[in-house]
Structure 1
Amino acid sequence: MALINKIREKSGLAVGIIAVSLILFIVGGDLLGSRSLFGGQDQSVGEIAGQKISYPEFNAKVDEARAAYEQQTGRPASEQDQIQLRDQAWNQFILDIAYQKEYDALGLAVTQDELVDMVQGNYISPAIRQTFTDPKTGAFDKNTVINYLKNLKTLPAEQQLAWANFEKNLSTDRTRTKYENLLRLSSFVTTAEAQKEYQAQNTRADAKFLLVPYYSVPDTTVKVTDGQLQEYLDKHKDEYKSINSRTIQYVTFPVAPSKEDSTALYDQIKTLARGLATATNDSSYARMNSDIQAPLYMTLGEMPEQLKATVGTFAPGGVYGPYKEGNTYFIYKYSGVKKDTNFTVRASHILIRATGSDSAKAAARIKAEGILRQIQGGANFEALAASTSDDGSRQQGGDLGYFKNDNRMVKPFQDAIFGFNGTGLIPRLVETEYGYHIIKITEPKTNTLYRISTIGKTITASQATRDEVYRRAEQFATESQSKEAFEENAKKDKTLVVATAERIPENSTNVNALGNARELVRWAFNDDTDINDVSSAIEVDDQYVVAVVTGKTSEDEVTVDNFRPELTAKVRNQLKAEQIMAKLNSASGPLESIAQKYGAGALVETVPDLNLANGFLKSAGVDPVAVGKIFGLKPGKRSKPFAGDAGVLIVETSKVTPAPTVADYAVYKNQLIQNASSRTGFLINEAIRDNAKVKDRRAKFY
């Protein structure tokens, strides 16, 4: 009895401990927060202008956007839709916080009278017009809006809330438009700037250059040190903006159907075939048991090839198959025929296009007539189509497949095909707006529709198969707890291929060709995941992935490792340039002689009628420094060797033709203003985000 009493005493304490633990587990994150006695992670999804956005606050905005979307579309938001809705909610926070500060500083706002005018006044908002335009007539009637507003209070609460949000967005959009227009209209271009642009577009130069491409010097002959990379980065830090990223190596374990899965499905399809044969309502039976929906009535041309081959043996009530196409088994039940209102035919053609002048049209007709005579004389239609036709069907020997007389083809073409009986070559040219056609009917026209109930069952991996693949992946992960072990075990298993994904962004949903890989990305960015850590088996579509983190970059720190490939290429080219210029500095004589003396790799090219605004230097490509030097030299003068984008160059200017004098530069002034205006919205957004020091941490939660 004493023992029982002690158990009772202790059980009360145990229940109390469990209850407290459950409460802490359920509410601890909100109650205690990141500054709790037990620590914890920052639960904000981001920061805008110093203001933190909490996860519940952000999620509430997302839920609001999702509800509005689902009410508007009448369907649940898909995963892709929800990604867009989260972006929409985040951008709304940026507008409400960062943009609003700018609006307040300038005193910009939308008055109530202005909002009324946008909704039902003289200057209707485009959003209102789009929402209340009759889809049948395409007409907008302001009275429709007024009547809607009169009845608004009688509508369900969610619709009233949706309208309130809609009006708020109208006001927000109008304020932003005012702000952007204010800055856009502040753009100014001077006459001197317009004159400079005119001269850049219309001044011409003839030049010659010698180029020694960087690639002509083997990379293996140039050694680049970490010190040189760091020195280059220190001098060009403004050019390299780091991001939060991860580099991983990974192996995949595909979940493919096993031999046993295929056998099981084959047995199932045979059982279904017996059921289909005896079903009184065969179309309903097929629809309920098929993985793939197929039309009940098919033309001969719409039938799969294996079924089409058995048409001659069709008998009402007969079941045909199973036929395997890819990973799917098909069975079919034939139940008779009916006549369609349209005919179907299969044909091939050779098209000789006739465009341009009458003489070109006559030449096209002569060519087409010659081809027609060759075919009538026994030449192979398909071979001539492949070699002479101007239509994309030439790759299929001119085959156009099956089509109906439903006016989708141009009328002369359709009339010729459906006016021909039987099969074979139509013995005349058919002229259409596209040119001259030589047509061969390969299967005769018919309006017979076959009633066929179809069951298609796709082979999928069973749960046992999935479990076995998961077991293999988990075993690999368990035995590969370091990068070295990961690489060693991957080498031992000849079925595995190690792939590398470089610098994956934090918000990425894909990893190389792996779609829907969000969980893999979240693991790589988890605060507890370090370099050389190996993941457990992560399911990505129909495969399991095991990965190891091999590198990481941070937006707060720019290091050589963040940009090693790019920096190495830049520094290596600098070192190559020094080598090349050392050989060219003492060179003299014509450029051709210098190139010959230099040896392999050097080339000389001429560029006539070069334009300063968008000059292109053939093998040297687009090189603003080289083009600038050409226009900066006097005719007959030559530059010293210098490092360009593609290699080391020596340029010499043969002739410069100044732009003709004009009295008015208004056209060029307008061009520059329009160019600046088109970039205003983008530049405003970038500037405001940068000024607000926006930090987006949503990727830690989604």
Structure 2
Amino acid sequence: MAIIGKIRSKSGWIVAVLGLALLTFTFDLWKDVFLSWFGKTPTSIGTVYGEDVDAMKFDALRRYQDERFQLLTGRAPQEKEVEFWYDEAWRRFTDSIVLSKEFEALGIQVSENELNAYFNATNGFKGLPDLVTLEGNPQNSGQPQQIIPSVFKDNSTGTYTAQSIAQGKEVIKKLKADKTANGQKLWAIFENEYKQLRAREKYMQLLTQGIYTTKIELEDRVESKSTTKNVSYIIKRFNEIPDEQVKANDSELKAYFEEHKSDAKYKVEKANREVRVVSLNIVPSGKDSAVFNGEIAKIRSAWSKIKADSAFVIRNSDRAFYFNDKRATAVPEGNEKAQMGYQTFPADYELIFKTAKLDSIVGPYLSQGFMNISKVVGFTPSRIKARHIFISTAGLDAKASAPKKALADSLSKIATPANFAQLVTKHSDDQRSKADSGLIKVPMNNKAPSENLISGDLIVLGYDKILADYCETGKVGEIKKIETPAGIHIIQITERDENKFPLLVTISKTFEPSKETYQNKEDEAYNLLTKISDAVNKEPSNEKKIEKFNQLVQDAKNYAQPISIEDDNISYTKNSNLYSFQETNTTNSIIELAYGGGGIGSFNEYPILDGERYIIAMLSAIKPSGEPSFSDVKQAMEQELMKEKKAKLLKAQLAQAGKSVSDIVAKSGNTVQATVADVSFIGGSGGELESEPEVIGAIFGGLKDGASTLPIVGNNGVYIIQVNKTSKNPVAANYKTEKENLIKENQVAVDYRAI
């Protein structure tokens, strides 16, 4: 089968062309006939809550998504982004089918006046929320990215401020006033997106307002939180008995299956299919390494003789990264500056770079997925903290700038550490640092802005090189006037580390397998697929097929990863199990294997090239919703049956040891020690008991102080519990705060439970 598959993999385009021609010829003739047999309209592609999903309307939404993305990003889509659009369009379309009925029934509308107030942050609206979309980001595996930026939030803090709201209003005003064709399209998209969002907000607010807690619920919660029990317990753990001692045979397992197949924990909630995937990673061979090391040695030798770095680096590097200023700073991997786009080097190279001489070449070393060699061209302090008063003179002639310069001269003479913040508030033209008493901060990804700078940050923030150079060499604590083309800075360096980061010019090379290595791995993958598929196909039952597959994969010193795909949730973006694949073709091939009509033991016809690996996949389970099949739960039930056998033995051991915790401790001559814990029904601190619901239930099920339970089977073993003391914590005269907290907890869950 694999040999035929190999031929097909090399000539699939022929089959595709012929198939497409035939399909095109026959589809228009027969599609309406086929659809009418199933009672569908010719344009229906499915149903949602009994409503037809119209293909033409769905396609129109997809086209809208496409145009929207290109207008907002200014670029054409990439292959993976198209996949995300399809799923995002489907989510929006099905949501609209569900919500439109709800909006109509509840009379939810968004008027023009309400939308204007929403846009202008008036009538109680504080500012527009962010619109985060799922339209793909190939650089981070398709995680949501925000392609409509924050309009009303401060970009550095992520919060609403008076200044950011004022700026947001100006953005809205300009966007609405743009009468160009693209401008009008953008405004229409903007207005449509926020109108839908506002309607959804109103719907969720209505649901939230309907959240209520009963008196009985409240009293039960308060009682549970206010009661604490001090307990002593002894546990006999399951791992004290070897598995071999309680091994279950096939007849026992089948009897156990018949008895427990209807148990809730074994029920298949959603129909799904399981595919087992084997990865054969393609890594450079020893021969590849020798060739690569020779290339690196030649580059290093030639570079040591050249002074003009830029042309040499651009010609030889596989990565476009070259700066001749402070942005050439390199930081150790793991440093907070690494997330800001600076070069990185392994942490264990820090001492090497710290002691390196200028123009020395270091490497090769691996960082950011490249093999690098770097020339040291300078050093910069690893941390600077500075504040300033900025007087802008940009665009002013000599006459207009004279009063500004006079003000700067005056400020430089009167500024002191004590009055610096006051002078910033009154005179500084730098709005970014004004709110922080002049302290210069750099935005950080997913974190609050940092006051810990390096000189490269100042360049990135748009400050002049003159200011960056002064921050490296100026006297700490001194207040100094620094003139730049943009204006005059009254600056104070408040802190500066003696530790240095290197400035590096780096040549990055990609170390990858050769064509010969790829071919060898492809041959290995085909041979393994042939061996496994031939052996599996000879097995008489599904259970034996899976056992043979697992055995042969293990013999090949590999691992089969099971991937579960829900029948009603096959899409790429919604099924996290499919995220691990690098190529869209791989995802499609796995889905085709799962739903292409083959039975358990079916394989992909040929190994799938997925980035830097070949994949062999086998359909290992087809699970309808409801009761499971024996093969699907055999392993889980075997573990459960052995656990029951162990529990029976452990209960007998505890019963023989004594009737209570104190009795067992006494009879053992104190060789057995009880564990003591304080436990509450909600939010307790009972250690391992918190993960034992059966035990917690027994403790709070009416057990009096001094009494012990019978042996209780838990998740970790068999317990005997003794209650030492029950304590009641004081409670408030009324339950207002507790009621508010309980309602808030339920309100938070409204959004994801409603749809």
TM-score range, shorter chain: 0.5 to 0.7
Alpha-carbon spacing, 1:560–1:459, altered in 2? closer, same or farther (3 Å):
same
Tell me, yes or no, if the aligned pair for 2:455 and 2:472 is still in contact at 8 Å. Answer: no
Matched, 1:499 2:559: yes
1:613 to 682, 692, 696: 682
Q: From the CA coordinates, give the structure whose radius of gyration is larger.
A: 1
Do residues 241 (structure 1) and 249 (structure 2) align? no
Question: Cα–Cα, structure 1 residues 656 and 474, in superposed 2: closer, same or farther, change >3 Å?
Answer: closer
Deviation per residue, 1:172-204 (Å, 9 max, x gap): 222222222222212222344323222211122
C-alpha distance in structure 2 between counterparts of 1:94 and 1:110, whole Å = 20
Q: Is the 8 A contact 1:180 1:680 kept in 2?
A: yes
Out of 716, 719, 731, the position equivalent to 1:646 is 716
The alpha-carbon deviation at position 76 of structure 1 amounts to: 4.0
Show CA shifts across 1:519-558 (max 9, x none): 5533432414432223212101122222333334345764
The one-letter code of the counterpart of 2:510 is: T
Tell me the matched-pair count.
572
1:148-163 matched pairs, under 5 angstroms: 148=174, 151=177, 154-156=179-181, 158-163=182-187
Q: Which residue of 1 aligns with 2:208?
A: 184
Does 1:138 find its partner at 2:164?
Answer: yes
Please tell me whether residue 127 in structure 1 is matched to residue 153 in structure 2: no
Per the TM alignment, residue 97 of structure 1 is displaced from its structure 2 partner at its CA by 0.9
Q: Deviations over 1:612-667 (max 9, x none)?
A: 22334444443333233323122233333333333333323222233446421112
- The equivalent of 1:525 in structure 2 is 594
TM, length-normalised to structure 2: 0.61
Secondary structure, counterpart of 1:655 in structure 2: strand
Letter of the structure 1 residue corresponding to residue 310 of structure 2? S
Contact map agreement 1:532 1:550 (CA 8 A) in 2: yes
2:751 equivalent in structure 1: 681
- State the partner residue of 1:100: 100
Bigger Cα displacement from structure 2, 589-598 vs 525-534: 589-598
Aligned partner letter, 2:164? G
1:295 aligns with 2:322: yes
Identity of aligned residues (%): 20
| Distance in 2 (alpha carbons) for counterparts of 1:655 and 1:172 | 57
Once residues 515 and 225 of structure 2 are traced to their aligned partners in structure 1, the CA distance between those partners, rounded to angstroms, is 68
Q: Is the 8 A contact 2:381 2:472 kept in 1?
A: no
Alignment partner for residue 228 of structure 2, among 180, 199, 204? Answer: 204
What amino acid sits opposite 1:108 in the alignment? I
* Alignment partner, residue 629 of structure 1: 698
* Cα shift at 1:500: 1.2
Contact (CA 8 Å) 1:33, 1:43: kept in 2 or not?
A: no
Q: Is the 8 A contact 1:273 1:331 kept in 2?
A: no
**CA drift at 1:252:** 1.0
Q: Deviation of residue 668 (structure 1)?
A: 1.4
Distance 1:31 1:273, change over 3 A: farther
Give the direction of change, closer, same or farther, for the CA distance of 1:570–1:538 in structure 2 (3 Å limit). same
Structure 1 residue identity aligned to 2:320 = Q
The code of the aligned residue for 1:115 comes to L
What whole-Å deviation, never above 9, does each CA across 1:322-341 have from its counterpart, x for those lacking one?
A: 9755697878999xx8xx8x
Call closer, same or farther: CA 1:478–1:61 in 2, change over 3 Å: farther
Q: Do the aligned residues in 2 keep the contact of 1:490 with 1:497 (CA within 8 Å)?
A: no
- Are the equivalent residues in 2 in contact too, given 1:483–1:533 (CA < 8 A)? no
* Residue 482 (str. 1) matches residue 561 (str. 2): no
Give the corresponding residue for 1:232: 260
Partner Cα distance (2:530, 2:751) in 1? 51
User: CA-atom RMSD, angstroms?
Assistant: 5.5
Residue in 2 aligned with 1:671?
A: 741
How far is the alpha carbon of 1:603 from its aligned partner?
6.2
Query: Match of 2:646, SS?
Result: helix
Correspondences of 1:377-416 after superposition (within 5 Å): none
**Residue 304 of structure 2 contacts residue 361 of structure 2 at CA under 8 Å; is this kept in 1?**
no
Q: Is the 8 A contact 1:212 1:601 kept in 2?
A: no
Moved more, 526-535 or 122-131: 122-131
Distance in 1 (CA, whole Å) between partners of 2:210 and 2:549 is 64
**Which deviates more from structure 2 when the two are superposed, residues 95-104 or residues 550-559?**
550-559
Q: CA deviation at 1:563?
A: 4.2
Work out whether residues 211 and 620 of structure 1, in 8 Å CA contact, stay in contact via their aligned partners in 2.
no
| Aligned AA (1:138) | S
- Paired residue type of 1:291: D
Cα distance in structure 2, aligned partners of 1:580 and 1:112: 72
Give the corresponding residue for 1:366: none
CA distance in 2, matches of 1:620, 1:309: 51
Q: 2:196 aligns with which of 163, 167, 172?
A: 172
The residue number in structure 2 matching 1:88 is: 88
Q: Partner amino acid for 1:647?
A: G
> Quick check: 1:577 aligned with 2:644?
no
Q: Deviations over 1:326-374 (max 9, x none)?
A: 697878999xx8xx8x85699xxxxxxxxxxxxxxxxxxxxxxxxxxxx
Q: Is the 8 A contact 2:261 2:627 kept in 1?
A: no
User: What is the CA deviation profile of residues 577-614 of structure 1, one whole-angstrom value per residue up to 9, with x for unaligned ones?
Assistant: 34433555577544244368799998632324x32223
| Contact kept? 1:213, 1:602, Cα under 8 Å | no
Structure 2 residues not aligned, in runs of 5+:
1-16, 131-148, 156-162, 331-342, 384-452, 459-467, 477-493, 538-544
- Unmatched runs of 5 consecutive residues or more in structure 1: 1-18, 315-319, 347-401, 417-432, 686-702
